[in-house]
Amino acid sequence: MRAIVLLCALTSLHAQESLNVTSGLGGMVDKYLTPIAHKHLETRAARISRISSPADVAERQRYIRERLLDQIGGFPKKTPLNPKVTGTLDREGYRVEKLVYESLPHYYVTANVYVPTSTTPPFPAVLGTAGHSNEGKAYSLYQRVWIAFAKRGFLVLAYDPPGQGERSEYWDSELGRSQVGGPTSEHTMAGIQCLLTGTNIARYFIWDGIRAVDYLLTRQDVDPKRIAVTGNSGGGTQSSYLAALEPRLAAAAPSCYLTSWEKQWMDPGPQDAEQGFVNFLKDGLDFGDFLISFAPKPIKMMAAIRDFFPIDGARATFAEARRIFEVMGQGDKIGFFEYDDTHGWSKPRREATYRWLEQSLHQRADEGVEPEFDTEPAVNLNCTATGQLSTSLKGETVQSLNLALAERTYRPKTSPDIAGRLGLTVQRGVPAASRYGEVGRDSYRIEKIALDTEPGIIVPVLVFVPAAGETRKPAALFVNPAGKSADAGASGDLEALVRAGNVVLSVDPRGWGESASAAGRSGYRASFQTAMRALLVGKTMTGMQVGDLLRAFDYLVSRPDVDASRVSIIGKGNGGVLALSAAALEQRLTKVACEGSVVSYMDIVRARNHDGMMDIVVPGILREFDLPDVVRTIAPRTVWLVSPRTPAGAPAPMEHARAQYGTQQGLRVVERPEGFSFGKVYAEWLR
**Mean model confidence pLDDT for the chain:** 95
Q: Where are the alpha helices (DSSP H) in 300-397?
A: 311-327, 347-357
User: What is the three-class DSSP state of 473?
Assistant: strand
Tell me the pLDDT band of 426, cut-offs 50, 70 and 90.
confident
User: Which residue range is the domain that position 180 belongs to?
Assistant: 54-406
Nearest Cα residue to 527 out of 275, 165, 270, 283:
270
Q: What is the distance between the terminal CA atoms of the chain, rounded to a whole angstrom?
A: 44
**Pair type for strands 562-572 and 473-479:** parallel
Q: Taking a C-beta distance cutoff of 8 angstroms, is the pair 284, 40 a contact?
A: yes
Say what the pLDDT of residue 12 is.
35
Say what the pLDDT of residue 323 is.
98
Torsion of CA 198, 640, 647, 479, to 10 degrees: -80
pLDDT (average), residues 212-225: 98
User: In sequence order, what E strands does 293-443 have?
Assistant: 299-304, 334-339, 432-441
Percent of the chain's residues with pLDDT above 90 = 93
Q: Could you tell me if 391 and 436 lie in one domain? A: no
Q: Could you tell me if 281 and 430 lie in one domain? A: no
Q: Could you tell me if 491 and 533 lie in one domain? A: yes
pLDDT over 50 at 2, yes or no: no
Say what the pLDDT of residue 414 is.
87
Q: Taking a C-beta distance cutoff of 8 angstroms, is the pair 421, 621 a contact?
A: yes
Q: Could you tell me if 437 and 401 lie in one domain? A: no
Q: Could you tell me if 235 and 170 lie in one domain? A: yes
CA 158 to chain centre: 26
Q: Could you tell me if 518 and 442 lie in one domain? A: yes
Q: Is residue 398 part of a domain?
A: yes
Query: CA separation (Å) from 438 to 18, 352, 513, 545, 617?
Result: 9, 65, 18, 25, 35
Q: Taking a C-beta distance cutoff of 8 angstroms, is the pair 146, 128 a contact?
A: yes
pLDDT over 90 at 9, yes or no: no
pLDDT over 80 at 15, yes or no: no
Please state which of the ranges 13-22, 155-164, 515-524 shows the lowest mean pLDDT: 13-22
pLDDT tens digit sequence for 493-539: 999 999 999 999 999 999 999 999 878 887 899 999 999 999 999 99
Amino acid identity for residue 477 in this structure: L
| Cα dihedral 273, 253, 322, 313 sign | negative
**Residue ending a domain, choose from 340, 372, 406:** 406
Nearest Cα residue to 534 out of 316, 355, 270, 325:
270
Q: Taking a C-beta distance cutoff of 8 angstroms, is the pair 444, 467 a contact?
A: yes
Q: Is residue 35 part of a domain?
A: no
Cα–Cα distance for residue pair 610/647, rounded to 1 Å: 5
pLDDT over 90 at 220, yes or no: yes
> Which residues, other chains included, contact 42 with Cβ-Cβ below 8 Å and sequence gap of 6+?
none
**Residue ending a domain, choose from 361, 381, 406:** 406
Q: Could you tell me if 258 and 161 lie in one domain? A: yes
What CATH number is given to the structural domain containing 290? 3.40.50.1820
pLDDT tens digit sequence for 613-645: 999 999 999 999 999 999 999 999 999 999 999
Say what the pLDDT of residue 687 is.
84
pLDDT (average), residues 95-111: 98
Q: Is residue 3 part of a domain?
A: no
> Which residues, other chains included, contact 479 with Cβ-Cβ below 8 Å and sequence gap of 6+?
506, 507, 509, 512, 549, 569, 570, 571, 572, 575, 578, 579
Query: Concatenated DSSP letters for 478-539?
Result: EE-TT-TTTT-STTSHHHHHHHTT-EEEEE--TTSGGG-----STT--HHHHHHHHHHHTT-
**Residue ending a domain, choose from 372, 406, 440:** 406
Q: Could you tell me if 269 and 343 lie in one domain? A: yes
Q: Could you tell me if 422 and 402 lie in one domain? A: no
Q: Is residue 18 part of a domain?
A: no
pLDDT (average), residues 45-61: 98
Q: Is 46 exposed, middle or buried (0-12, 13-18, 19+ CB in 10 A)?
A: exposed
Q: Is 374 exposed, middle or buried (0-12, 13-18, 19+ CB in 10 A)?
A: exposed
Domain count, the chain: 2
Say what the pLDDT of residue 7 is.
32
Tell me the pLDDT band of 229, cut-offs 50, 70 and 90.
very high
User: What is the three-class DSSP state of 467?
Assistant: coil
Q: Taking a C-beta distance cutoff of 8 angstroms, is the pair 196, 605 a contact?
A: yes
Q: Taking a C-beta distance cutoff of 8 angstroms, is the pair 217, 184 a contact?
A: no
Tell me the pLDDT band of 4, cut-offs 50, 70 and 90.
very low
Query: Concatenated DSSP letters for 129-164?
Result: E--S-TTGGG-HHHHHHHHHHHHTT-EEEEEPPTTS
Q: Is residue 427 part of a domain?
A: yes
Q: Is residue 17 part of a domain?
A: no
User: What is the three-class DSSP state of 564?
Assistant: strand
Please state which of the ranges 17-21, 213-217, 351-355 shows the lowest mean pLDDT: 17-21
Q: Is residue 605 part of a domain?
A: yes
pLDDT tens digit sequence for 26-50: 999 999 999 999 999 999 999 999 9
Nearest Cα residue to 616 out of 640, 636, 599:
599
pLDDT tens digit sequence for 260-306: 999 999 999 999 999 999 999 999 999 999 999 999 999 999 999 99
**Pair type for strands 222-232 and 123-129:** parallel
Torsion of CA 500, 476, 615, 425, to 10 degrees: 180
Neighbours of 635 (CB within 10 A): 12
Q: Could you tell me if 422 and 543 lie in one domain? A: yes
pLDDT (average), residues 593-606: 98
Q: Is residue 1 part of a domain?
A: no
| 227 phi/psi in degrees, rounded to 5 | -120, 130
Whether the bond into 628 is cis, omega within 30 of 0: no
Sheet holding 503-507, edge to edge: 432-441, 444-454, 457-466, 503-507, 473-479, 562-572, 589-595, 638-642, 667-670
Amino acid identity for residue 628 in this structure: P
Cα–Cα distance for residue pair 34/374, rounded to 1 Å: 48
Q: Could you tell me if 425 and 398 lie in one domain? A: no
| 235 phi/psi in degrees, rounded to 5 | -70, -30
Cα–Cα distance for residue pair 83/81, rounded to 1 Å: 5
Cα–Cα distance for residue pair 331/333, rounded to 1 Å: 5
Query: Concatenated DSSP letters for 217-240?
Result: TT-TTEEEEEEEEEEETHHHHHHH
Percent of the chain's residues with pLDDT above 70 = 98
Nearest Cα residue to 179 out of 610, 527, 674, 553:
610
User: What is the three-class DSSP state of 128?
Assistant: strand
| 449 phi/psi in degrees, rounded to 5 | -135, 145
Q: Could you tell me if 527 and 587 lie in one domain? A: yes
> Which residues, other chains included, contact 655 with Cβ-Cβ below 8 Å and sequence gap of 6+?
none
pLDDT over 80 at 17, yes or no: no
pTM of the model: 0.95
Cα–Cα distance for residue pair 91/151, rounded to 1 Å: 10
